[in-house]
Structure 1
Amino acid sequence: MLRCLVQEHQRGWDEKLGQAEFAYNSMTNRSTGKTPFSIVYTKPPNHTVDLAVLPKCASKPAADFAIQFSQMLQEVREKLDASNRKYKEDANRRRRERSFAPGDLVMIRMRRERFPQEYQSKLSPRRIGPFAVLKQINPNAYVIDLPAHYNTSATFNIGDLVKYHPPDEAPTNLSSTDSDSTDGGGE
């Protein structure tokens, strides 16, 4: 936001900071449906257009104010809960329940931070394995029978594990009639 306000006058960023803060606090939040300013101060902020109209000076009883404020906070909570439910539904729509039993074979996703010496180029394999599952710590963590030369923890998140599917066991028969070489040795 500051980059847009400052543009080519980058040394004057501190003069634009108040403007950026006001703009941010005046924008309606997607989750709450209210501006941060109105949540804190119980009313929308005064803009330049609003300065021509002076605020009302009539005072209301404190009880009415407290009721109005608590109702507004309740609305905010309900909107946040509805927004969180929607985010959860969207995330769970693509999520599949996975679990592994001890002895299952899994492939481990290579991450540069866990396997820096094995993960060297774009052409390196994305997964290594298969390795056996030793035990389940919780629904999201498993201990894998990882060889010692990997020098990393044997506990992995389920997001880094994929069930191992062995290659087809179908027999492959190649005879000289199936190849496209010539009788002279392929010359």
Structure 2
Amino acid sequence: MTHKHLQETSQKYKAHADSKRGMMQFDVGDFVWAVLVKDRFSVGNSNKLFARKIGSYEILKKINLNAYRLKLPSHIRTSDVLNVKPLIPFKVDKEDTRNANSMANFLQPGEDDADMMA
């Protein structure tokens, strides 16, 4: 392979990867999922079985292009200001609101499936 061919191929792969990296933008009032890493949990509370993707939570304030303040419940013991990187847009499928509601409430303290069935 020639040097020119390698450069062209590299640029093609870079262009494709860059098209997938779009900067996420959210507005106040939008709902998002937050992906938390174990560094976000207080010492002794991290567990490999903990949910990493939590939500859906409302965006209360846009701090800047890279940070947002979320409306987190009190049992989530982490800062309510998160970088845009771990945020995923929350989209509700209009035809399956039952599934969306159950996913939005899966981290409510004091509840389990048995309580929900009763």
TM-score, normalised relative to structure 2: 0.58
- TM-superposition CA deviations, 1:90-125 (whole Å, max 9, x none): 6734311311111111001021010242x412x433
Partner Cα distance (1:103, 1:124) in 2: 27
Q: Distance in 2 between matches of 1:96 and 1:132?
A: 21
Question: How far does residue 151 in structure 1 lie from its aligned partner after superposition?
Answer: 2.2
The residue type paired with residue 143 of structure 1 is R
Amino acid at match of 2:55: G
- Aligned residue for 1:133, secondary structure, equals strand
Higher RCO structure (Cα 8 Å, ≥6 apart) = 2
Question: Which structure has the larger Rg over C-alpha atoms?
Answer: 1
In proportion to residue count, which structure has more helix?
A: 1
Question: Residues of 2 paired with 1:126 and 1:152: CA distance?
Answer: 13
Root-mean-square deviation (CA), in Å? 2.6
Amino acid paired to 2:47: Q
Q: Which amino acid in 2 is paired with 1:139?
A: L
In the TM superposition, 1:13-52 aligns within 5 A as none
| Aligned residue in 2 for 1:29 | none
Percent identical residues = 33
Task: Please give the TM-score of this superposition, normalised by the length of structure 1.
Answer: 0.38
Partner residue, 1:155: 81
Query: Which stretches in structure 1 are left out of the alignment for 5+ residues?
Result: 1-85, 173-187
For the residue of structure 2 that corresponds to 1:153, the secondary structure is coil
Q: May I ask how many residue pairs the two structures share in their alignment?
A: 83
Structure with higher strand content: 2
The 3 A distance-change label for structure 1 pair 125 and 150 is closer
1:171 and 1:143 map into 2 onto residues whose CA distance is: 26
